[in-house]
Amino acid sequence: MAPLVSISGLKVAFDGTPVLHGIDLDISTGEAIGLVGESGSGKSVTWLAALGLLPGKAKVSGSVQLEGRELLGAAGAVLDRVRGRRVAMIFQDPASALNPVLTIRRQLCESLGLHRGLRGEAARAEALRLLDLVGIPDASRRLSAYPHEFSGGQVQRIMIAMALAGQPDLLIADEPTTALDATIQAQILDLLSAIRREFNMAMVLISHDLGVVAENCDRVAVMYAGRIVEQAPASRLFDDPWHPYAQGLIGALPPLDGVRRRLQAIPGTVPDPRALPSGCAFAPRCNFAGDGCHAGVPPLAPCDDDRAVACLRPQRLPVELAAE
């Protein structure tokens, strides 16, 4: 089946400095993809570029297709229809995405009007249904409340309701629970999973929390310095990462055991995009790098049916450990 979204050769540069070096990523209908990698690796820029949300100074090239239709360079009116309607985004700080001086009803109804042409009582009824769906108690009364009258977790639920207003095919969730405490985080992620299954909606989950990605995604792409360095089904990646960077992130030994963990500290720092080392950008931090690694950038190459790795010397765990 053709992918819902197909990104190929996506490059972004700011003021002449490349920060994305050719991203290739397909997302199927209903699939959940996790994007992980240290700060600055290009996770957010990938999606901001795909949706035409970067500032004008950004130079973007490559291809981003939604059901075969090219989005890069598409007219503003086309992108306006895609954003919110076909593809919605939720962010780490939901409060900043809501207007503090408008009621939740007004904001939800505006979205419903814009994306689905609903007005008046039809919009109010749908706003109510969405608030119910995301678990806001006493929704009919709370419709007339303002954002500051809700807790952080409730505001994120409202943002999810806003995102669902357009009945999107793809939800980009950029660190959606980072600002919330652990119990609420789990509730919001459960809610997203339930909604995704109910509506067969695809999701891109960008997160620093590997446990969250392992539990909520079908497939994971690991990014480093503006490239995808490994991509595989979540269970295979977390049990048996091949790229030395992915191994460092996951803390390859012992394998992920259900304990929630955040990105590991890998010695050294992510290189400045203005001064990337030659060859593989991870080589200076890599215990396994050889001369060839400093000579050329390894392409993201398929290793088997469902794994691709960009490394000249991928490190496979001993079979008995990978199977544990």
Ligand X SMILES: Nc1ncnc2c1ncn2[C@@H]1O[C@H](COP(=O)(O)OP(=O)(O)OP(=O)(O)O)[C@@H](O)[C@H]1O
Question: Which residues sit at the interface with ligand X, rule CB under 6 A?
Answer: 14, 19, 37, 39-45, 55, 273
Task: Quote the least distance from Cβ 279 to ligand X, whole Å.
Answer: 19
Closest to ligand X by CB, 14 or 146: 14
Closest to ligand X by CB, 42 or 176: 42
Closest to ligand X by CB, 263 or 322: 263
Q: Where are the beta strands (DSSP E) in 130-199?
A: 170-174
d(CA 206, CA 175) in angstroms, rounded, equals: 5
Read off φ and ψ for residue 256, nearest 5 degrees: -55, 125
d(CA 50, CA 131) in angstroms, rounded, equals: 29
Task: Quote the least distance from Cβ 186 to ligand X, whole Å.
Answer: 21
Task: Quote the least distance from Cβ 41 to ligand X, whole Å.
Answer: 4
Task: Quote the least distance from Cβ 39 to ligand X, whole Å.
Answer: 3
Task: Quote the least distance from Cβ 281 to ligand X, whole Å.
Answer: 12
Closest to ligand X by CB, 53 or 186: 53
Q: Where are the beta strands (DSSP E) in 202-318?
A: 202-206, 219-224, 227-233, 301-304, 307-309
200: left (phi over 0), alpha (psi -120 to 50) or beta: left
Closest to ligand X by CB, 201 or 222: 222
Strand partners, 7: 25, 64
Closest to ligand X by CB, 39 or 264: 39
d(CA 294, CA 278) in angstroms, rounded, equals: 6
Task: Quote the least distance from Cβ 139 to ligand X, whole Å.
Answer: 32
d(CA 310, CA 321) in angstroms, rounded, equals: 22
217 near 14, Cβ under 8 Å? no
Closest to ligand X by CB, 37 or 147: 37
- Give the three-class secondary structure for 229: strand
Between helices 104-116 and 152-164, what is the axis angle to 10°?
Answer: 20
Task: Quote the least distance from Cβ 223 to ligand X, whole Å.
Answer: 6
